[in-house]
Amino acid sequence: MTDSEDGPEEPANLRFLRRLVTGLTAVMMAGVLLIIVLIVIRFRDAGPVLPDSIDLPDGAQAVAVTAAEGWYAVVTDDNRILIFDRVTGQLRQTVVVD
């Protein structure tokens, strides 16, 4: 075995292991970057568009709101689910929860 100016020559297995670790590091960095980009893209979405105000009957208080295509629903504190039309804002249906 001869020593070069840079030091002794490293074994092929060690060279392979060093390249493997470097490749794994690069893949992990790319994966973390991809996850960050996906999170930013996901949270950039404004979410569902709801009306500025909802007129609840009988002075009921809203507990929860959910939205779907063409309608939105309001759960009230008196155990009712009020379903409103998204376009007109008119009350479509009232469901009483026992």
What residue ranges do the domains of the chain occupy?
A: 3-44, 57-96
| Beta-bridge mates of residue 72 | 67, 84
Q: Is 65 helix (H, G, I), strand (E, B) or coil?
A: strand
Structure confidence at residue 3 (pLDDT): 55
- Are the CB atoms for 71 and 84 separated by under 8 Å? yes
Structure confidence at residue 49 (pLDDT): 74
Q: What is the pLDDT of residues 2-35, one digit of tens each?
A: 555 777 888 889 999 999 999 999 999 999 999 9
31: buried, middle or exposed (CB in 10 Å: 19+, 13-18, 0-12)?
A: exposed
